Structures are given as C-alpha cells and as structure tokens.
Amino acid sequence: MLPGGTVEFGEDLEDALAREILEETNLKIVNISFFAHQKIILADTHWLGIYFVCDAENWENMQNQEPEKHEKLQLFSRENLPKMHDATIIEKFFTQ
C-alpha cells in the first residue's frame, strides 16, 4: 500500500499529502506534483485516489510511524514490486 490518507476540512491536497507522509513514514517531502487520480469502488465504499509524485529530503530518517496499522515499511525496485491495490497507478508511473 502506498502511504496516504484523508484530507482534513480546509486542508490543501499538497499539505494533506505532506502531513500524511510525515505521520506514516517520518519523511519530509518536496517538489510535489499531481500525477493521476483513480476511482476506487468497493462493496459499500467509494473513494477517489489522488496520486502525486514527490521527492523526500531525509531518507535516512524513514521509519514506520504507524506499526499498529502497517506491519512494515519497505522500498522496492520496479522488478520486485509486490502485487497491491495501487498496481495500476504504479504501472502508469513507470510507463509514462
């Protein structure tokens, strides 16, 4: 699963992204740009996923800040990506 979350009332999308990434990974991000959006429809839920591309300033500080929600935090090469629900967006990133 890619890091992310919800936008709080009155919050800009880029500010929400930076807050969620910091909360989940302890990374500070810069150079944020919109990449894609995707409808996510489940049995009783309808989400709009908004995806961005950004740079992290402090990779040495990366850590799982939410172990109660996520078992671990890992980086993967394109060749070793596990199957996940964000696979369509990830493939789009690599093919554009």
Helix (H) or strand (E) holding 20: helix 13-25
CATH number at residue 42: 3.90.79.10
Question: What is the chain's Cα-based Rg?
Answer: 14
What is the count of structural domains for the chain?
Answer: 1
For residue 80, the enclosing domain spans: 13-95
Is residue 49, in this structure, part of any structural domain at all?
Answer: yes
Residues 36-88: tens digit of each pLDDT = 998 888 889 998 889 999 999 999 999 999 889 888 888 888 888 888 777 78
- DSSP-assigned beta bridge partners for residue 48: 39
The answer to whether position 46 is within a domain reads yes
pTM above 0.85, yes or no: no
So what's the pLDDT on residue 28? 97
Residues 6+ apart with CB under 8 A from 3: 20, 21, 24, 25
Mean local confidence (pLDDT), 26-32: 96
* Bridge partners of residue 33, in order along the sequence: 53
What was the pLDDT predicted at 78?
83
Q: Is residue 41 part of a domain?
A: yes
Residue 38 DSSP label: E
